[in-house]
Chain A
Amino acid sequence: KAGVTQTPRYLIKTRGQQVTLSCSPISGHRSVSWYQQTPGQGLQFLFEYFSETQRNKGNFPGRFSGRQFSNSRSEMNVSTLELGDSALYLCASSSNTGRSIDYGYTFGSGTRLTVV
């Protein structure tokens, strides 16, 4: 069973540009969530999508957005990049349909974004 796939693995962007990251969940998983990991702030929740609908959102500015497609693949977009957006962006997929968990959350290997 293929795991969670995140592309690209590494990305270098210039301040002010925008970027789109992709996450393909485990087959059959309908929930995809995104996280930002930085040395200073640790792991922080960005948002979660379930069946193409944003179910929950963390405390990030509107420059961070996402969407989920009918095949459950998700994209995250960051506009007007700032130096502080440099981070490892992780996504996780889950089959959960509510507050209960069937198999837990499976994480991808992340996209390392560097803003210069």
Chain B
Amino acid sequence: AQTVTQSQPEMSVQEAETVTLSCTYDTSESDYYLFWYKQPPSRQMILVIRQEAYKQQNATENRFSVNFQKAAKSFSLKISDSQLGDAAMYFCAYLGNQFYFGTGTSLTVIP
């Protein structure tokens, strides 16, 4: 079975600074997708960014970007110019025939 590992249970960042959240995964599949989801206290999982495994170019969505290293099975999320609203639990997710989620990283943004 596929596994997703987030080794940072908690992270903090100063407002306006940059933070990187780590994620590694294990799979034998060649065709899959990777996601970062954000879960604020409202509980809803909000899509932050996604990456198709066959694309070599790293995905970018405004202040959010990923560093996708397929050979190393690494998929880190960089948040630039951090804002107070970025504070949440962040989940890395792998999608093959089903979703596998990491255990999450709780991000605190310090004013």
The 5 closest A-B CB pairs, nearest first, are A107-B45, A43-B101, A109-B44, A45-B98, A110-B43
Contact check, B31 vs A99: say whether CB atoms are below 8 A apart. yes
* Interface size, chain A (Cβ < 8 Å): 22
- How many A-B residue pairs have C-beta atoms within 8 angstroms? Tell me: 48
Query: Closest Cβ of chain B: how far from A25's Cβ, in Å?
Result: 14
Please list 18 pairs of residues, one from A and one from B, whose beta carbons are closer than 8 Å in the complex, sorted by A's number.
Answer: A33-B98, A35-B99, A43-B91, A45-B99, A58-B98, A88-B43, A99-B31, A101-B33, A101-B95, A104-B35, A104-B47, A104-B50, A105-B35, A105-B99, A108-B44, A109-B43, A110-B43, A110-B44
Question: Does A48 touch B at the CB level, under 8 Å?
Answer: yes
Contact check, A42 vs B101: say whether CB atoms are below 8 A apart. yes
Contacts A42-B104, A105-B47, A112-B43 known; 8 new A-B pairs at CB < 8 A: A33-B98, A35-B101, A44-B101, A45-B99, A101-B52, A107-B44, A108-B44, A110-B43
The A56-105 residues at the B interface (CB cut-off 8 A) are 56, 58, 88, 90, 92, 99, 101, 104-105
Query: Closest Cβ of chain B: how far from A29's Cβ, in Å?
Result: 14
Contact check, B50 vs A33: say whether CB atoms are below 8 A apart. no
Residue ranges of A at the interface with B (Cβ–Cβ < 8 Å): 33, 35, 42-45, 48, 56, 58, 88, 90, 92, 99, 101, 104-110, 112
